[in-house]
Amino acid sequence: MALFVAGMAVSSLGNLLTGVVWVAAAAIVMQGIHGAGLAVQDVAATTILQRTVPAAMQGRVFANLHGGIGVAAAAPYLGVACCCRRRRPGRR
């Protein structure tokens, strides 16, 4: 569990620092830190689920976990698409 929390912290720190740097090269480095945190977080989440979920239910749990991640990743794109459609020039 500590590894999962550490991965979240490193990932969040990378994103936070990307927003405050003023040089593109530094932003790239910060996104590298973000990616490293995501890798640790993914491994830790998988390990936690494998250790705590009964073997017969693991497929369902992993499907729900990764399905939820997919929905969360798609939601901003849908929001932007809705906003852009409403603001189309010449449309009333």
Contact (CB, 8 A) for 72 and 52:
no
Kindly state the tokens that stand for 85: 């459609």
Encode pLDDT of 45-69 as tens digits: 999 999 999 999 999 999 999 999 8
Provide the pLDDT for residue 86: 62
Number of domains composing the chain: 2
How far apart CA 69 and CA 49 sit, in angstroms, is 15
Tell me: pLDDT of 92 over 60: no
How far apart CA 51 and CA 1 sit, in angstroms, is 11
Encode pLDDT of 11-36 as tens digits: 888 878 887 888 888 888 888 888 88
- Whether 48 and 59 map to the same domain: the answer is no
- Whether 47 and 2 map to the same domain: the answer is yes
User: Which pTM does this prediction carry?
Assistant: 0.64
Q: Which parts of 1-92 fold into alpha helices (H)? A: 2-20, 24-52, 58-86
- Whether 19 and 63 map to the same domain: the answer is no
- Whether 83 and 48 map to the same domain: the answer is no
- Whether 91 and 46 map to the same domain: the answer is no
Among positive and negative, which fits the CA dihedral 59, 62, 65, 66? negative
Provide the pLDDT for residue 49: 92
